A and B are shown apart, each in its own frame.
Chain A
Amino acid sequence: MNRYFYIDSEGKQKGTFSPEELKSENIKKDTLVWTQGMNEWMRASDVAELDIIFAESTGYYPPQPAAQSAAQPAFSSAQPAGYGAPQQQPMPKSWLIESILATVLPFLLCSSIFSLLGIIGIVHASKVESLYIRGDYAGSLEASSQAGKWTKIAMWIGIAWVVLWIVVVVLIIAFGVSMANIGDILNGSGYEI
């Protein structure tokens, strides 16, 4: 049996564990794992030997809540100190990278007004981790979904903006309007962009 490293929800590498031991870790299907002989980190669900971890949740065996809760206290004492109460659920997606990008990118596309949407996303995204560490999992989850919502709105508006812009350019070229004419039509405040 191989011994595995995995990367937890905070991006820390942990290991090694046997597949049996991994059962009591917070392994999700998309958790990245590695063991000797692998070229790179793989999703846990893609590793045949780790199928046993997910067997229970997919209903191959009847769920055993009693046995599970009995197993957890024993495990929590083995967790590194400084983390307070054992975190049973992984941290919800923080959306921090995505929302920062959604704030910064519009400046490149001259649609800086849309950055406000990204900033709303950042405000929510920055709450995800602190609420999670405080142990407010529900609040953290709520912040995560809000952050995701605003980031996605910003993203779709950004995509629509770029598409609209391309369509306008293509139309102008297709209709063969001369440069001078476009200049007259759009001549607002010089050619500031």
Chain B
Amino acid sequence: MLVAVVFMFYTFDPGDMPLFPKCPFLLVTGYECPGCGSQRAVHDLLHLDLKGAFSQNALILFLIPYILLGIYLGFFNGKHHFPRLEKLFFGKWAAIIVVSGIIIYGVLRNVV
């Protein structure tokens, strides 16, 4: 399934294709949510176009390594090897910072 999804993101440009899911938040409110552009950003990333990805959705560039780290720590026993890393990036305060960072990004991108 993962391979299929990655393949689709690589082959098709979500910016041109109506197949990719629309953001319900955007449709309802007319504002871009913090995730808008993430699929185009993933597409650009898969083509190693960092600049393009950054302009589509800068947040995602930071979130993807973070997500991968989280998956490693949480599901591949990483937290037993690097308990400090877990405390630092996935502690209570990290959670608060991540969530508020996402919200601030969401506000800023619509205001600026």
Contacts and interface: CB of A to CB of B under 8 A. Distances in A.
Interface of A: 7, 10-12, 32, 41, 96-101, 103-113, 115, 119, 122, 125-126, 129-130, 161-162, 165-166, 168-169, 172, 179, 182-183, 185-189, 191-193
Given A100-B90, A126-B92, A192-B22, 13 more contacts: A12-B83, A96-B95, A97-B74, A103-B102, A107-B34, A108-B38, A109-B35, A112-B25, A125-B95, A126-B95, A165-B21, A189-B26, A192-B23
B46 interface: no
B8 A169 contact: yes
Interface in B73-102: 73-74, 79-80, 83, 86-87, 90-92, 94-96, 98-99, 102
B63 A108 contact: yes
Contacts of B92: 96, 126, 129-130
Contacts of A122: 95, 99
Contact of B35 (A106, A165, A191): A106
B32 A192 contact: yes
B52 interface: no
Given A107-B34, A110-B21, A192-B23, A96 B90 contact: yes
Contacts of A98: 74
Contacts of B86: 11, 97
B69 to A, nearest CB: 9
Interface residues of B, number: 53
Contacts of B36: 110, 192-193
A193 B74 contact: no
Contact of A186 (B18, B40, B59, B64): B18
B5 A162 contact: yes
